[in-house]
Amino acid sequence: MHLTLIVNPFASTANVRVRVQIERLLSERHEVTVVETTKSGHAIRLAHRAVADGTDVVLGLGGDGTINEIANGVMGMGATIAPLPGGSTNVLARAIGYPNDPLQAAAVFLEALQHPDTSRNRIRAGVGRAGDRIFLFHAGIGFDAAIVSRVERRGPLKRYAGHALFAAITADNWLRSMRRREPWFRIESDSGDVIDDAQLAVALNTDPYTFLGNQPLNLAPEARLDRPLSVVALSSMAPAPALKAGLTALSGKSGIATGRSTSHWSDVNRLTVRGHRPFPYQLDGESFDEVEELTIDYLPDVVTFVAPAGLEKPSS
């Protein structure tokens, strides 16, 4: 089998030693081509070219942004992909059952690839699409995306500070935001649910939303790769509702329920966002320029992942 390993050399744990060990492990049983990204968006082109040249599986060794780019590069090509965790958080890899150590994940990948029953080691997943980009596990709008944008601007520090940097910027953003009680955007689902005064919204394809170290943040436990999106939104970032939502996400798998300042929708196929002023958004942890309007769609059965053999697959 021909494997293509796309490496983001700037990712937190994708150093030369790890890359060499993974390449050696994969090469014991398969033909392996290794390529490195050099800039943002490069993995999109590398993945597209690899599939066009006949590779069987494209692996990404990097963070969530790397596997997002790979998925965007192979859209519509019937390709199979696999995430090897090399970033600081690795939401997708962990959500589909891979260990957070890249070498262990490579071993688990090989075991899955050998399984004779492909129904046991493949996940056919739906994705979200915002504009011309797909996302594999979540899109964040407003306050969430503003934090991601600030973290991304501190690339070298992000590599070493990781979760501590996210926590510090989250606190700083909240303290500095004098407009946290003002409506930022309006969101409407395809079923007619509406929030006129949202400050933060997250559309999810998996749960948890993210991890703080080994601690998952659970927003929508029903979110799965084989069903339409879940949406969680806050209409106020004032102390009481913001703290309550954060503690709920940290406390367990109950998720954030609809309340006075919170909304929780399930099985959303289309989400329309219109800003009261320009708003930022992020897809799988990659920030994008502010916009005044954004449409998010759910696309079923778009991506095939190699998953750990024996992993319980999503229910239909």
* Averaged pLDDT, 272-301: 95
pLDDT tens digits, residue range 136-184?
999 999 988 887 766 665 555 555 445 565 555 565 565 565 455 677 8
**Sequential DSSP letters for 106-152:** HHHHHHHHH-S-GGGTEEEEEEEEETTEEESSEEEEEHHHHHHHHHH
pTM greater than 0.85 (yes/no): yes
Please name which of 290, 248, 285 lies closest in space to residue 273, comparing C-alpha atoms.
Answer: 290
pLDDT tens digits, residue range 56-97?
999 999 999 999 999 999 999 999 999 999 988 899 999 999
CATH number of the structural domain 134-301: 2.60.200.40
pLDDT tens digits, residue range 104-128?
999 999 999 987 677 678 889 999 9
* Joined tokens for residue 302: 């778009």
Neighbour count for residue 238 (Cβ, 10 Å): 14
CATH number 1.10.510.10 given to 2-114: no
Domain residue extents for the chain: 2-114, 134-301
